[in-house]
């Protein structure tokens, strides 16, 4: 997920009012972030600079990756990651190739695939964690399949062991859209560090917030340098003297204005980098609080008419996803209406089955297999917010409403 309409959920999210109801998001900023903003304003350097470099280094260390590139959004992180596949010397993917994606995700998981010249192959998601179905991937692979764009949904890790096994077996590249799952782990390894590149979001509604923002992580130096060029106009200015992209002349004037890749301008602000430095320091405590909220909710939640998302590994619990059964004695609309009366905000599970959006007529894609789980999520799924602070009382109120309706 890359965005959240604050007008729809109200300014309670901005004011951090968690005394009643349950907003989808709340501010994670404190005095440290305000001081960081002031320091940038006082410096007079507002464009990407030393604060962004430090945020990149800190973020890479947190993820356990060698390299990190900060951009202006998680959507732009996906844009650059898919574009970078065009240019790698040994892992390049030719235009027209197929990239397998789950049917359930946010719009800007999919658009960059088309924008980079690839064909989307949509497959269903698994019935327990709602991440991309491993069997559906195997059934979708053809000689033209060259990659998998796996989405870690709502904080829940995909089955990384199975994904890597498929990629090794068929020679596919794996990219992780980790925008909703910062801090999630499989066997102690952070999501976003399994594929050749991982993408992350730091928008307001996510685990940390830099206003707008995102990161791409990778262990591959060539991908890292390609991303540096693509991020800023496709020029050579930000590349080291010795690099995998272009042989520099040594003339700073020429090397600052030589364009070698068809790039973009998706650079972050220096203010966003400074905020990111402070937010990354707090990330462990944020994830711990979210996990404690989830543990409590799991301990009190038991409802025969509603299924809760069941993550594999260690989830970072972006939010709490639910799916009504077909025989539930109430409709989703009725339930959401009751929750709204108690100021408990809801939204679809990401974008539901994305195939059911009118924008599909503009995309190059094919569908492999059935869509039963994705359709169920689209028609009967919803999620509520989780937070970096204790919301157990709020969650108790949520469960009470479910219990009352289920009688």
The CATH number linked to 345 is 3.40.640.10
- pLDDT given for residue 39 in this prediction: 97
Q: Are 101 and 121 in contact (CB under 8 A)?
A: yes
- pLDDT given for residue 407 in this prediction: 85
Q: What is the pTM of this model?
A: 0.94
- How many domains does the chain fold into? 1
Q: Are 336 and 406 in contact (CB under 8 A)?
A: no
| Residues with active-site annotation | 206
Residue stretches of the chain with pLDDT short of 70: 1-17
- pLDDT given for residue 3 in this prediction: 44
Helix, strand and coil content of the chain, in percent to the nearest 5, comes to 40, 15, 45
**What is the dihedral angle through the alpha carbons of 42, 46, 51, 56, rounded to the nearest 10 degrees?**
160
Angle between helices 270-300 and 392-406 (to 10 degrees): 50
Beta bridge partners, 279, equal none
Q: pLDDT per residue over 316-344, tens digit each?
A: 999 999 999 999 999 999 999 999 999 99
Domain limits for position 281: 1-407
Which of these, 336, 338, 322, 328, lies nearest to 305 by C-alpha position?
Answer: 328
Q: Does residue 298 sit in helix, strand or coil?
A: helix
Q: Are 286 and 206 in contact (CB under 8 A)?
A: no
Question: Cα dist. 71→60, 259, 264, 272, 356 in Å?
Answer: 14, 19, 11, 10, 30
């Amino acid at each position: 997920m890359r965005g959240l309409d604050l007008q729809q959920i109200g300014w309670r999210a901005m004011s951090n009012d968690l005394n009643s109801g349950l907003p989808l998001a709340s501010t994670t900023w404190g005095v440290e972030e305000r001081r960081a903003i002031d320091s940038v304003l006082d410096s007079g350097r507002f464009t990407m600079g030393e604060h962004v470099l430090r945020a990149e280094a800190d973020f890479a260390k947190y993820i356990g990756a060698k390299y990190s590139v900060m951009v202006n959004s998680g959507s732009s992180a996906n844009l650059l990651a898919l574009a970078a596949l065009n240019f790698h010397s040994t892992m390049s993917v030719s235009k027209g190739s197929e990239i397998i994606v789950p049917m359930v995700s946010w719009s800007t998981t999919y658009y960059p695939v088309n924008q980079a010249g690839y064909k989307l192959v949509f497959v269903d998601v698994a019935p327990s964690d709602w991440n991309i179905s491993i069997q559906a991937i195997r059934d979708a692979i053809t000689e033209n399949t060259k990659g998998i764009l796996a989405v870690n949904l709502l904080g829940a890790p995909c089955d990384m062991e199975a994904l890597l096994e498929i990629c090794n077996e068929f020679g596919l590249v794996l990219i992780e859209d980790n925008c909703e799952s910062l801090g999630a782990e499989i066997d102690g390894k952070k999501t976003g560090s399994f594929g050749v590149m991982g993408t992350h979001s730091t928008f307001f509604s996510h685990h940390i917030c830099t206003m707008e923002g995102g990161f791409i992580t990778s262990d591959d130096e060539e991908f890292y340098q390609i991303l540096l060029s693509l991020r800023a106009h496709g020029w050579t200015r930000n590349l080291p003297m010795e690099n995998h992209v272009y042989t520099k002349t040594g003339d700073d004037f020429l090397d600052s204005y030589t364009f070698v890749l068809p790039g973009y301008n998706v650079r972050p602000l220096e203010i966003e980098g400074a905020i990111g430095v402070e937010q990354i320091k707090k990330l462990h405590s944020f994830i711990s609080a979210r996990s404690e909220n989830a543990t409590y909710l799991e301990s009190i939640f038991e409802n025969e008419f509603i299924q809760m998302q069941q993550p594999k590994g260690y989830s970072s619990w972006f939010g709490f996803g639910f799916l009504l059964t077909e025989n539930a004695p109430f409709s989703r609309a009725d339930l959401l209406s009751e929750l709204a009366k108690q100021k408990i905000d809801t939204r679809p599970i990401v974008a539901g089955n994305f195939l059911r959006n009118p924008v599909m007529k503009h995309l190059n894609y094919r569908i492999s297999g059935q869509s039963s789980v994705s359709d169920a999520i689209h028609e009967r799924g919803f999620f509520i917010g989780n937070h970096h602070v204790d919301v157990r009382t709020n969650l108790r109120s949520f469960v009470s409403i479910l219990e009352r309706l289920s009688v």
